Structure 1
Amino acid sequence: MSTVRLPDFPWDALAPARARAAEHPDGVVDLSIGTPVDPTPPLLGDALAAAGDAPGYPTALGTADVRRAAAGWLSRRLGVQLADPFGADPSVIPTVGSKELVALLPTLLGLQGSGTVVLPEVAYPTYEVGAVVAGLQVLRTDTPPAHPGDAVLVWLNSPGNPHGRVLTDDELRAWVAWGRAHGVPVVADECYIELGWDVVPRSVLHPDVAGADHTGLLAVHSLSKQSTAAGYRAGLLSGDPALVRRAWEVRRHLGLLVPTPVQAAMAAALADDAHVAVQRERYRRRRDRLAAAVRASGARVDHSEAGLYLWVSRDEDCWTTIDWLAGRGIVAAPGSFYGPAGSRHVRMALTATDERIDAAVERLMKDPPAPRRSQAHGGPLQGGR
């Protein structure tokens, strides 16, 4: 029996930079991992506690409340009209966050064994992990291939992690047409879709993109960032009812169940837009301050029109930039973690407290210390978002 060989898990490669940054007299500003730090809104905790008496097993299908709230949120916020979420083939189900879904989706759809998963040039590494776990190959491209080859799945990510790039309607429609022409499911990871800054991101399920129905299309959403609820592990899969049903059938066999109290919290969060607006404004203020300081330091911010990160370049190897930042007590994520095309960028997260963002701004505005050469570093990242 062959053993799955996963890519390296290289966060340890940042250890020298973290050690250097820790020498700063005012401590480290860690902008490397996009982990929310602001309080979870009380409405989620209240709903969670009210549903705490949950002696029975939850269902993989999800409660009526959470499916109704999800369909309402998709319609209200994204202009997406689902097929009947209560039909025999459901059009939306809850998931245990989005990362496990991304990692398992090729397997859940029965695609394992042979074929190629198409993913962006610069991409969230768990897309590749999911392909490897299913025994599939990977092709990185930002445009539909001239020939489908043995493609079995396409991943889109808009707004993108790490670079915050938003696909245009024309780009989305091109992928939808390509996938349908070749019978290849197209899945859009839209976990940052509520966080548009310079543009309004569009869902692949929107009728201007998908047309009259969602055949061959899926979308992945998460409450981790928009509701500061990463610890709840609350996500959604929606779209083509035939594909959703296929994933749901396997998930219930595997026991991939969102706890009933978490589903109650999800329903409350998806029905409320106010807390999302408050959090989005927090991130906007941090983004504006940090981006201005990055530019004042002589670096460049590319893309970053949406999402939780700044995609920063000094037109040098990303590890040289990591050392330059570490000399100021700042830790970022090397762009090479996200694919070879990211090797001249670093990702700086907005998920730090206002005090730490202000500290980073102050340090970036000062004259840079002399850069120091890094030790050798590892391969693609397989960690959290």
Structure 2
Amino acid sequence: MKISRRIAASRPLATTAMHGRVEAFRNEGMGIIDFSIAISHFSPPASVLDAVTRAVQEERTMPYTGVAGALDVRRSLCTKLARENGVDAAAGEIIVTNGAKQALYQALYAMTDPGDSVLIFKPHWPAYVTTCLLLGLTPVLVDLPETITADTLAACPPADLVIINNPHNPTGKVYTKDELQHLCAWMRARGAQMIVDESYEHLSFGPVHTSLASLCDWRALGVVTLFSASQSYAMMGWRLGFALAPPELAQAMQTLQGPITAATSHLAQVATVAAFECGPQAHMIEEYRARRDNVLHHLREVPWIGMRCPDSGPYLWLDVRSLTQDTEAFAEALLAEEGVAIMPGDALGVSGFIRMGYICDDTWTLMEGVRRLVAFGDRMAASR
């Protein structure tokens, strides 16, 4: 049996691999507390469930649509972009995808050739690097600056394309308008294209999220912006996403999507429209803020943890370098000894840190997981 060299040399995505292990342990009856990924304990908005129910009951068939999505769906998403993001777009510049990961893959495929370099700030969402490697691209990893300035960007190595994540996973950084304007100027000077992942656009706890495309001529610069319903609307398993791209790139992404999946399902498109019409879910954000503050309160006095309060997102980015740089071994031992899964920072490009999701399950389970994490680290510190 032949396995292609390109896939044989690849590793499974770290986040999905860990989640798969947790699922396997749970199927064996083990009570694992999963902090490795963010799966909201909320239900999707009622308007989404109602829209899908009506579609099932009223439509005799679930039709194929155009590969990029039904025209009325894409027009609805253009309205969302104008209302929430300050971006004017046409339906031909929208492509509806099976989640943001598909949009990322198709954008990278359409915007690059094998051997091209892609600048990625670390820590990073693991899919950025893994997808680059699958496509034969060269990831160029650079530490995420405290503040993006003209000087910090001038120090970056040259690249054909840049990926930024705003709000940022896992640190919770929300880019300011000044930082985004520096990035626009840097793109123009370098002639680099950009993918902007705005999947967490509604998960800010205070700082205002600004879409980079609202600050520049995104068509001329070659900017693709990715959106997802997963976290903003508690719809992780629905796989709803879309991309905004210059028309030539949107057409190229559609050409790729056609033979792979064709259009997303009709029901998913109905759900996409209903979700993005909801706007920010204030009740979710306030609950996440309370959970964030509760966990930080319990971890603040732990001597072997360093941390900052994130401005956005469903994760805490915790510094455990006083215990270990090898967070892969840390994560394996924590899972084996305490039944708690976290994501090692090594998988996100930075050793000595761990990423902890805090929006899953009920509050008691959350705090029990925190207790187990602290007990494990305390034993580790005492044994040194």
TM range, smaller chain? 0.7 to 0.9
Cα distance in 2 for partners of 1:93, 1:214 equals: 18
Report how far residue 301 of structure 1 moved.
1.8
2:315 is equivalent to residue 314 of structure 1: no
**TM-score of the pair, normalised by structure 1:** 0.81
Q: CA 1:304–1:293 in structure 2 vs 1: closer, same or farther (change >3 Å)?
A: same
Alignment-derived partner of residue 301 in structure 1: 307
> What letter is aligned with 2:43?
P
Report how far residue 334 of structure 1 moved.
1.0
Structure 2 matches for 1:353-372, cutoff 5 A? 353-354=361-362, 355-361=364-370, 369-371=378-380
2:184 is equivalent to residue 176 of structure 1: yes
> What letter is aligned with 2:109?
T
Report how far residue 328 of structure 1 moved.
5.7
Deviation readout 1:26-77 (Å, 9 max, x if unpaired)? 9543211122332222322221232234443122222233223322222333
Contact 1:185–1:217 (CA<8 Å) still a contact in 2?
Answer: yes
Contact 2:233–2:275 (CA<8 Å) still a contact in 1?
Answer: yes
Q: Tell me, what secondary structure is at the counterpart of 1:219?
A: strand
Report how far residue 247 of structure 1 moved.
1.6
Report how far residue 352 of structure 1 moved.
1.3
Alignment-derived partner of residue 110 in structure 2: 108
Question: Where does the alignment leave 5 or more consecutive residues of structure 2 unmatched?
Answer: 145-151
Report how far residue 367 of structure 1 moved.
9.8
Cα distance in 1 for partners of 2:16, 2:380 equals: 20
Alignment-derived partner of residue 294 in structure 2: 289
Alignment partner of 1:98 out of 97, 100, 119: 100
Deviation readout 1:92-122 (Å, 9 max, x if unpaired)? 221110112223322133x232211111121
Contact 1:163–1:310 (CA<8 Å) still a contact in 2?
Answer: yes
> Once the two structures are aligned, what percentage of the paired residues are identical?
26
Alignment-derived partner of residue 46 in structure 2: 42
Q: CA 1:254–1:367 in structure 2 vs 1: closer, same or farther (change >3 Å)?
A: closer
Report how far residue 179 of structure 1 moved.
2.1
Contact 1:93–1:237 (CA<8 Å) still a contact in 2?
Answer: yes
> What letter is aligned with 2:67?
A
Cα distance in 2 for partners of 1:98, 1:294 equals: 32
Alignment partner of 2:205 out of 176, 191, 197: 197
Report how far residue 325 of structure 1 moved.
8.6
Contact 1:62–1:263 (CA<8 Å) still a contact in 2?
Answer: yes
Alignment-derived partner of residue 134 in structure 2: 133
Q: Tell me, what secondary structure is at the counterpart of 1:36?
A: coil
Q: Tell me, what secondary structure is at the counterpart of 1:302?
A: coil
Q: Tell me, what secondary structure is at the counterpart of 2:163?
A: strand
Alignment-derived partner of residue 258 in structure 2: 252
Cα distance in 1 for partners of 2:157, 2:187 equals: 9
Alignment-derived partner of residue 153 in structure 1: 161
Q: CA 1:14–1:148 in structure 2 vs 1: closer, same or farther (change >3 Å)?
A: closer
Q: CA 1:349–1:11 in structure 2 vs 1: closer, same or farther (change >3 Å)?
A: closer
Q: CA 1:195–1:224 in structure 2 vs 1: closer, same or farther (change >3 Å)?
A: same
Alignment partner of 1:56 out of 63, 74, 81: 63
Contact 1:302–1:313 (CA<8 Å) still a contact in 2?
Answer: no
Q: CA 1:328–1:2 in structure 2 vs 1: closer, same or farther (change >3 Å)?
A: closer
Alignment-derived partner of residue 186 in structure 1: 194
Alignment-derived partner of residue 68 in structure 1: 75
Alignment partner of 1:29 out of 33, 46, 50: 33
Alignment partner of 2:153 out of 144, 154, 176: 144
2:84 is equivalent to residue 81 of structure 1: no
Cα distance in 1 for partners of 2:313, 2:77 equals: 21
Alignment-derived partner of residue 381 in structure 1: none
**TM-score of the pair, normalised by structure 2:** 0.81
> What letter is aligned with 2:93?
S
Contact 2:67–2:264 (CA<8 Å) still a contact in 1?
Answer: yes
Report how far residue 171 of structure 1 moved.
2.5
> What letter is aligned with 1:144?
L
Alignment partner of 1:272 out of 278, 282, 286: 278
356-365 or 243-252: which moved more? 356-365
Deviation readout 1:143-190 (Å, 9 max, x if unpaired)? 5355764x3321001211122222232332222222233332111111
Alignment-derived partner of residue 383 in structure 1: none
Q: CA 1:172–1:228 in structure 2 vs 1: closer, same or farther (change >3 Å)?
A: same
Higher helix share: 2
Cα distance in 2 for partners of 1:159, 1:260 equals: 29
Alignment-derived partner of residue 214 in structure 2: 206
Q: CA 1:211–1:57 in structure 2 vs 1: closer, same or farther (change >3 Å)?
A: closer
Report how far residue 222 of structure 1 moved.
0.3
The number of residue pairs the alignment matches comes to: 356
Alignment partner of 1:335 out of 335, 345, 348: 345
Question: Where does the alignment leave 5 or more consecutive residues of structure 1 unmatched?
Answer: 375-385
Contact 2:15–2:37 (CA<8 Å) still a contact in 1?
Answer: no
